[in-house]
Amino acid sequence: MTGDPQALLEQALDHHHAGRLAAAAAGYEKVTALAPDHVHAYSLLGLALEGLGRLEDSAAALRRALALRPDMPELLLALGDLYRKQKKLGDAETCLRRCLALDPGAAEALCSLGMVVEARGDPAGAADLYEQALAADPGYAPAHNRLGCSLADRGETDTAIAAFRRALEIDPDLVTAHINLGEALSKRGRHEDAQACLQRAIALEPDDPEIYGDLYLALMRRGDHAGALAVCESVLRAYPGDVDTLAFKGVVLHEMGRSDEARVLFDCARFLSPRLIEAPPGYSDLDAFNAALRAHVVDHPTLVKSASVNATRFGGHTGDLLSEPKGPVADFERVVAAAVRGYIAALGDDPGHPFVASRPARWRLNVWAVVMGEKGHQVSHTHPSAWLSGVYYASAPDDIRADDPGFAGWIEFGRPDDEIAIAREPLVERIRPQEGLLVFFPAYFYHNTVPYGGAGTRISVAFDIVPD
């Protein structure tokens, strides 16, 4: 390949600044082909690839830049942040601590490390890091914002509100601070003020459907069901398969007494798919496969006590199980992929239903595991980045019984998050976990597990089908 690396870099930067990320990435790749030691091109390539959602490729580019310049705090910060977004918390912490060893007063790195520590289940440690970030740079608005989140999680709502307001005094355009302030004010019953905050966030980021989600939640708390439904419909016109909006729309319809319409969305008979799998090739039977999966999960280096950022309570949560070495997860991956293809084929054509109409032509798999013992459960949640989700039970204690009137340990579909104020009993379906049971469900189905009081260990392997 011929050309001037500097001229190619400038062209790629023009594309990057204009938001043409694919063209920018292609340009940076040309630069690195001509100049394999061009650190800046590799770092910019990493940023462009991240913007395109190609996180593994982004990490590879940043690692290449870091191999050339291991003493650059900026690269360690960028790679640490990327690992955090991928939930590779151990790798993220390693990078960020290396960054801080080189630049101890880096407020951005301290704040990012705080988010990693918080995700690992240490909110007090996270708050301390946010305070350190603010000591290093009192004008760093994101640290005020993150400190507010930490305070809100600990129930210190009024102090959190003050932190969010301070963040916005410094940076009036910090969208996440407007959102967080709106949520905190809504919890205090100040629904009109909350709505104003969220509308300001929408004005700043009109193309982010998650912000609209906070707005229709605030309207719901005000008792304005019609207004909440109108926002849902507006979001779905722009983003027809948006997971959280579909979930919320079903709840609002049911609350308004339009339960038949809600059942069209939460059609458990049509979209829930439980099935017992057969042992993959290479295993003597299903018990042998489950034993291999259980051993892989409990020894996995990413298994940590779950934090409030995850749905799991009184249990452990792994990171990405598709990272090498995959072990038996490689066989699980093949089983799930084949089952997904069958599920999609069985849906048929229904352009009028938002779930069926939004099925992806191409998709990728995300896999993680949850280990729970006594009192272990998951609070109600959806999977916003996915189209279809599922769970496989590698271990299900015998005392999760079919005749239990309280359904302890069962997975429950249809009950919304506790933060959503509902007056009517929701439309609920439950499935009892069994070893070898694979369950598919639309990613927008609210799901939780009923707390389990037995002494056994419940190990599930969860996964998302993410549009690619």
Please say whether the beta carbons of 180 and 148 come within 8 A: yes
pLDDT of residue 278: 95
Q: Is the pLDDT of residue 443 over 90?
A: yes
Please list the helix, strand and coil fractions of the chain in percent, rounded to the nearest 5, in that order: 55, 15, 35
* Exposed e or buried b per residue across 88-113, where buried means at least 16 C-beta atoms within 10 angstroms of its C-beta: bbebbbbbbebbbeebeebbbbbbbb
Using DSSP, state whether 279 is helix, strand or coil. coil
**Which is nearest to 264 in space by CA: 385, 442, 389, 411?**
442
Using the Cα atoms of residue 20, residue 91, residue 292 and residue 447 in order, give the sign of their dihedral.
Answer: negative
Q: Are 235 and 212 in contact (CB under 8 A)?
A: yes
Candidates 260, 215, 259, 255; CA nearest to 233 is 215
Cβ count within 10 A of residue 34: 17
**Tens digits of per-residue pLDDT, 217-275?**
888 888 889 999 998 998 899 888 899 999 999 999 999 999 999 999 999 999 999 99
What are the strands of the beta sheet with 437-442, ordered from one edge?
273-276, 437-442, 388-395, 458-467, 363-378, 312-317, 304-305
Distance, CA of 217 to CA of 188 (rounded, Å)? 14
Angle at 343 between CA 52 and CA 333, to 5 degrees: 60
Residues 6+ apart with CB under 8 A from 325: none
Per-residue pLDDT at 447 exceeds 90: yes
Check pLDDT > 80 for residue 374: no
| Stretch 70-77: mean pLDDT | 95
pLDDT digits (tens, 9 = 90+) for 121-153: 788 899 999 999 999 999 999 999 999 998 988
CB-based contact 357:265 (threshold 8 Å)? no
Q: Are 302 and 89 in contact (CB under 8 A)?
A: yes
